[in-house]
Amino acid sequence: MKIKGVVSAGKEARVYWGKGGDGKDLAIKIFLTSSAEFRKSIWKYIQGDPRFENIKNVSTHKLMSIWAKKEYSNLKKMYNADISVPRPICVYRNVLVMEFLGEEGVRAPLLKEVYRFQHPDEEKSRRYFSTLIKNVYKMYWYAGLVHGDLSEYNVMIFRETPYIIDVSQAVRIEHPNAHQFLRRDLSNLIRFFSEEIGIDLPSVEEIYRVIISNEMGKIEEL
């Protein structure tokens, strides 16, 4: 595996473009630091999750490894549930390797960015929205997870398909805050597509009901 360039240098994680032994493009996400602020912010995702007990006393490095492993395991569950996420490849310590979304080292645009450079028409926008809602539905019913930080900044448009990224904080549906996170995820998507893109959409509550009542048929109608 070779690292070829930097894709994104965020505060808590850095994403690189690399190539595997077979010449395939890879995205390599390295979890770096955990500020006190970050520790506080992830606490609500970890609390109540039996997979991550006793997290208070672990070192920063260990916490980053746990976080990378958590993103990998969430990605795997989502990928296996036929949700559009980058294919997970492997995880080692604080490094997560996954499929690269983009061409020749140039990453695909975020949902937020795609409207700046291209001008998807209403039909395409509706298709993006309904694909995302179907993915949220599958995430809930087939992967047993709620993303928890879904917005136009954590969706990439790759080959005309919306891909959901940044799933380290996703929680199981039994988590005490899962339904609050689900409502917030839906509200972010609805706000973006209605207020910024200008398409007419049902309310958060309506879509939330359709999802949790397990009626895939109604999802198709949205």
Ligand X SMILES: Nc1ncnc2c1ncn2[C@@H]1O[C@H](COP(=O)(O)OP(=O)(O)OP(=O)(O)O)[C@@H](O)[C@H]1O
CB of 97 to ligand X, least distance (A): 10
Q: Which is nearer to ligand X, 10 or 176 (CB)?
A: 10
121 as an active site residue: the answer is no
Nearer to ligand X, 106 or 216 (CB): 106
Quote the CA–CA distance of 22 and 177 in Å, as a whole number. Answer: 42
Question: CA of 209: how far to CAs of 72, 136, 203, in Å?
Answer: 29, 13, 10
Would you call 200 a catalytic residue per the annotation?
Answer: no
User: CA nearest 67: which of 48, 86, 93?
Assistant: 93
In whole angstroms, the minimum distance from the beta carbon of 217 to ligand X comes to 32
Residues 126-165: x where in contact with ligand X by CB under 6 A, - otherwise, as a string:
----------------------------x----------x
Position 86 contacts ligand X (CB under 6 A): yes
CA distance 116 to 135: 24
Smallest distance, Mg ion to C-beta of residue 8, A: 8
107 binds ligand X (CB under 6 A): yes
Pattern 157-196, binding to Mg ion, x per CB under 5 A? ---------x------------------------------
Residue 33 engages ligand X in binding (rule: CB under 6 A): no
Q: Does 18 participate in binding ligand X (rule CB under 6 A)?
A: no
Report in angstroms the alpha-carbon separations of 214 from 18, 156, 189, 208: 40, 26, 20, 10
Neighbour-count burial for 82-118, b at 16+ CB within 10 Å, e otherwise: ebbbbebbebeebbbbbbbbbeeeebbbbbbebbeee
Q: Are strands 102-103 and 2-9 parallel, antiparallel or unpaired?
A: unpaired
Question: Binding-site residue total for ligand X (CB under 6 A)?
Answer: 20
Choice between 68 and 178, CB closer to ligand X: 68
Instruction: Extract the tokens encoding 125.
Output: 């926008």
Q: How far is the CB of 108 from ligand X (least distance, A)?
A: 7
Query: According to CB under 6 A, which one of 68, 69, 137, 166 is a site residue for ligand X?
Result: 166
E-only strand ranges, the chain: 2-9, 13-19, 25-31, 88-92, 95-99, 102-103, 106-107, 145-146, 155-158, 161-164, 171-172
Give the footprint of Mg ion on this chain (CB under 5 A): 154, 166
Give the footprint of ligand X on this chain (CB under 6 A): 7-8, 10-13, 15, 27, 29, 86, 98-102, 107, 110, 154, 165-166
